[in-house]
Amino acid sequence: MNTRDRLYMPPLEKYDVYGRFPWKIALHLLLLALITCEIVVVLNKGAMYSLDQYRLWNLLFQDNDTDGAAPSLINSYNLFSTGALRSYVRQMVDRYYDVNDYTLAEYEYFWEGGLKQPPLLEVEFLDSGRDSQFLLSRADLGPLGQPDLQAFLEEVRQFTLTFRLKHHLPEKMHFFSTCYEWVITQTYDFSSRGAINVAMDCNRKRCKHSLSGFFTGYIWLSLTVAALALICFGITWGHLVRRAIIVAKLKGQDSSAENSWEALDVLTKLKFFNFWVIVALLGNLCQLFGALSTLMDDMFLKTSETLLGFGCFFAWVTAVGYLQHNSVAYTIISTLKRALPVTIPFVVGMMPIFMAYAFLGTALFWPTGYMQDIMISMVTLFALLNGDSVYMFSSAMAGVYFFIGQLYFFTFLVFFIW
């Protein structure tokens, strides 16, 4: 095999020409299959459980009128008076202390000194450095129960109310864990000095020592994914080192494995890191740490899900890179290589006009509720580009400024659709 083929020939083409078995591709396909199984079998099962719990917490600790059959979650609620605020918080505290009266499953409390762990109220004042914490109970709502609640709110930017519960699952369900800790946080935002917007967020993590059996809990799957990710990372890095040694030899420099990499200049090193190498290395790191994080206690599952999600994403994208020798299978990448140099300058040229419409829309049409800030304005304009809710947006804009609204609406569509 000549030097050029060692440096640049794709693995499948090396197999066709030199009969060299593509072990790297075989290991990657095995890793791809296993991490996909982990997403489908483990994370999907956990996602269905978590979504049902989200619906439950949304009903109990957010919007009491939520329909249990609703496919989406309502994660915000508005309060418009001190009486409504005090009543709402009291109801949330009561529901926490009697949570099992409102649920089908049984939930456990965290205990402190023989008492249920009380909800935690954390207050962020307008003056920095004045944050305070309070423990609430049925009889004591802290500063939210004081007679002059209005004076307290005048000094507050926002406050949060946190509830912690524990949920044990039957071992026969064959979940990855038999126990989950739920942290339900309500954020009461008064920064706009109008209504108090209550937003709910839920975090979950495994209880300590709650992993299921080696096979029933799919622990073996996480360990195998971590091992394969580490091996693939080592193979890719070893390939870079071997390429560095070859280049160092061609330049007449020290060709030892320890010194060849350091002997190369920065531009030469960067040439080794093409798109596919970067994607493969990032994917292996996400797969390795994502798989290991599933085996750790006291780690929020959102971290594991994010790492494994990106790890699976990069694994599938990397698989396309092994098709370079087949021009038909590689058509999508070849098309992008030719199209991007043309389309990117066009997009760059149109972005100032798009941003102009976004800022103008925020300034003029914020009363519609569809353009109250820049990000939401951009989302609304993107929806218009795709023909979504065209009549609704047009009517809302016309309701604020009839002539300017219609002019804004039609000129935007002419620029970006026609």
The pLDDT value recorded for residue 64 is 58
| pLDDT mean over 141-167 | 91
Q: Is the pLDDT of residue 47 over 60?
A: yes
Has residue 81 been placed in a domain? yes
Q: Is the pLDDT of residue 24 over 90?
A: no
Phi, psi of 142 (to 5 degrees): 65, -140
Q: What is the mean pLDDT of the chain?
A: 84
| Boundary residue ending a domain (206, 237, 263) | 206
Confidence of residue 71 (pLDDT cuts 50, 70, 90): very low
Q: Do residues 182 and 279 share a domain?
A: no
Q: Do residues 64 and 180 share a domain?
A: yes
| pLDDT mean over 7-14 | 66
Q: Do residues 7 and 32 share a domain?
A: yes
Q: Do residues 56 and 202 share a domain?
A: yes
Has residue 326 been placed in a domain? no
| pLDDT mean over 12-23 | 71
The pLDDT value recorded for residue 268 is 62
- Per-residue model confidence as pLDDT tens digits over 188-238: 999 888 899 998 888 888 888 767 655 555 788 889 999 999 999 998 888
The pLDDT value recorded for residue 356 is 94
More confident residue, 106 or 215: 106
- Per-residue model confidence as pLDDT tens digits over 229-256: 999 999 888 877 777 777 666 666 555 5
Has residue 173 been placed in a domain? yes
Q: Do residues 96 and 172 share a domain?
A: yes
Has residue 333 been placed in a domain? no
Full-model pTM: 0.78
The pLDDT value recorded for residue 257 is 52
| Boundary residue ending a domain (171, 206, 241) | 206
| pLDDT mean over 173-198 | 87
Q: Is the pLDDT of residue 34 over 80?
A: yes
Q: Is the pLDDT of residue 129 over 70?
A: no
Q: Do residues 174 and 268 share a domain?
A: no
The pLDDT value recorded for residue 189 is 94
Q: Is the pLDDT of residue 22 over 70?
A: yes
Which has the minimum average pLDDT: 248-262, 307-321, 323-337? 248-262
More confident residue, 418 or 147: 147
Confidence of residue 337 (pLDDT cuts 50, 70, 90): confident
- Per-residue model confidence as pLDDT tens digits over 344-383: 998 898 899 999 999 999 999 988 888 988 999 999 999 9
Q: Do residues 63 and 180 share a domain?
A: yes
Has residue 123 been placed in a domain? yes
Has residue 388 been placed in a domain? yes
The pLDDT value recorded for residue 193 is 87
Q: Do residues 227 and 267 share a domain?
A: yes
The pLDDT value recorded for residue 240 is 76
Q: Is the pLDDT of residue 160 over 70?
A: yes
Has residue 335 been placed in a domain? no
The pLDDT value recorded for residue 86 is 93
Q: Do residues 352 and 408 share a domain?
A: yes
Q: Is the pLDDT of residue 143 over 50?
A: yes
Q: Do residues 156 and 90 share a domain?
A: yes
Q: Do residues 100 and 242 share a domain?
A: no
- Per-residue model confidence as pLDDT tens digits over 260-304: 556 656 666 656 677 888 899 999 999 999 999 888 776 778 888
Segments forming the whole domain that contains residue 68: 52-206
**Number of domains into which the chain is organized:** 3
Q: Do residues 378 and 359 share a domain?
A: yes
The pLDDT value recorded for residue 77 is 84
Q: Is the pLDDT of residue 97 over 80?
A: yes
The pLDDT value recorded for residue 208 is 81
| Boundary residue ending a domain (150, 177, 206) | 206
The pLDDT value recorded for residue 96 is 94
Q: Is the pLDDT of residue 107 over 90?
A: yes
More confident residue, 178 or 140: 140
Has residue 175 been placed in a domain? yes
